Amino acid sequence: MKIVLKKFGFMHSVTILLSAFLLAAGSFPGQAHAFGLGGYASIGGGTAEYEAESAGGTTEVDLDSVIKEFGFVMDTNLAMDRLFNYRVNLGYQMVEHENGASPIELEGFVLNQDFGFAVMRNRNLRLWLGPELQLSYLSGEIDINPNWDITLYGVGLGPVVGMNFNIGRSLTLGLKGGYLFTYRQGDGEDNSGGGSSFDYEVQEHLFFVNLAVLFRINDSFSRGRTASPARSPSFSSSPSSSMDTTPSRSNDTGEVEFKEIIP
């Protein structure tokens, strides 16, 4: 049985992303410690190494890669005085692979997960770093042959560094940059009924920057100790009592021959 995945329209894609994002956000318990919700946009560039296999043999082609991405973001710790944060981006990705010839244009869904560890944190700034894991589904075509459909599934991993600029009680601007190595696998088929097909393996090396705007919910910086009020002095005959200052801890809060990879 063959499963056919249709190419989504722009508004349909946004609706799917928003629904999935709200479902994920709603899965957090009501007493969740703190988190932030918002939107993001990313841009990146690098290289993509295609290996195309067909009945006629295997061909390898190196292409330039340009990626644009936007979507929704959620983070479990934007401002709190804690070491760890988990950030998830659910977005729509547009990819162009080319090298002086008609490009391969792909688009689809992407899920990015960051596991961050703070190296500096105060009331106004949080600097963190850690690994990012990416899962993606892309589909598209080659301009010189619009009847040639390509579908790719990808897994990416790499280091990222992020900064949260905390403004006022509820707003955070997030800046993130990093490197991702992404392995994609899929196939290409002639939808005109010619019966031709290729199997693709793609190794992509990408550097990117990401800008996010988030609104914090129960997420603020807190540090230090607070002393309880002193007791009133006692004027009895018993030994004089000392003031109780027991501290209580605050909540932590060249042109490519595309004919080599298509029929």
* Amino acid identity for residue 217 in this structure: I
**Residue 46: inside a domain:** yes
Q: What is the pLDDT of residue 228?
A: 44
Spatial distance between the Cα atoms of 111 and 72, rounded to a whole number of angstroms? 10
CATH number, domain containing residue 173: 2.40.128
Q: In the structure encoding, which two tokens stand for residue 250, read together?
A: 């605050």
Contact 74, 24 (CB under 8 A): yes
Spatial distance between the Cα atoms of 215 and 169, rounded to a whole number of angstroms? 9
Tens-digit pLDDT profile for residues 198-212: 999 999 999 999 999
Tens-digit pLDDT profile for residues 40-78: 999 999 999 999 998 889 999 999 999 999 999 999 999
**Residue 231: inside a domain:** no
Q: What is the pLDDT of residue 184?
A: 98
Q: What is the pLDDT of residue 143?
A: 83
Q: What is the pLDDT of residue 15?
A: 54
Q: Cα dist. 159→63, 113, 182, 208 in Å?
A: 23, 11, 12, 11
Paired with 189 in beta bridges are: 149, 197
Mean pLDDT of all residues in 172-194: 93
**Residue 230: inside a domain:** no
Tell which wins on pLDDT, 254 or 2: 254
pLDDT at 254 over 50: no
- The range of the structural domain enclosing residue 164 comes to 36-224+250-260
Q: What is the pLDDT of residue 226?
A: 38
Mean pLDDT of all residues in 128-155: 94
Q: What is the pLDDT of residue 11?
A: 52
**Residue 236: inside a domain:** no
Contact 124, 171 (CB under 8 A): no
Count of domains for the chain: 1
**Residue 1: inside a domain:** no
**Residue 102: inside a domain:** yes
Tens-digit pLDDT profile for residues 23-40: 554 444 443 568 999 999
pTM (two decimals): 0.76
Average pLDDT value for the chain:
82
**Residue 233: inside a domain:** no
**Residue 239: inside a domain:** no
Burial 198-212 (b: 16+ CB within 10 A, else e): bebbbebebebebeb
Residue 144: CB atoms within 10 A of its CB come to 13
